[in-house]
Amino acid sequence: MTGHQHGASSTATVPELACPVSPVVDIVFSRWTTPILWSLHTYGRQRFVELERRITGITPKVLTQRLRQLERDGLVVRTYHPEVPPRVEYEISDLGLSLAPLFAHLAEWAATHLDRVENAREAYDADPAH
């Protein structure tokens, strides 16, 4: 039986059916993915060390892992240049570029609403009932 044949109660047990954007959030908004994609979109093709410099706080090991995952997901293209010394460059793929409108909307939302989020947090934290 597929998820569509189950009753409404079992739909909630499959995250993709309960919330169809969950798989996208898992891919795009996992730790460090957004800064990597943002950097590649904003600054274009980059070498590993350039990305490492631009994304403060990321370790080389984690950057390597995230780049491999993004390449596997089709969001980043890795190009190996067999020179001496060898050179590797990363760039955002067409699939990755298709996320640009989403990032633009999120940036607009942040500019418009983050101050309200901060105010809500301050009010919540100041309330002795919490």
> In the chain, what are the domains?
11-98 (1.10.10.10)
pLDDT value, residue 20: 86
| Banded model confidence at residue 21, pLDDT cuts 50, 70, 90 | confident
The Cα 7–Cα 123 span in angstroms is: 41
The residue that leads in pLDDT, 1 or 79, is 79
Above 80 in pLDDT, residue 5?
A: no
Cα–Cα dist 77/89, whole Å: 8
* pLDDT tens string 53-79: 999 999 999 999 999 999 999 999 999
Beta strand 76-81 with 46-47 is: unpaired
Can you read off the two tokens belonging to residue 57?
């706080």
Q: Average model confidence (pLDDT) for the chain?
A: 88
pTM over 0.85: no
Question: What confidence tens digit (pLDDT) does each residue in 99-118 have?
Answer: 989 888 988 999 999 999 99
Q: Is the pLDDT of residue 12 over 70?
A: no
Residue 3 pLDDT more than 90? no
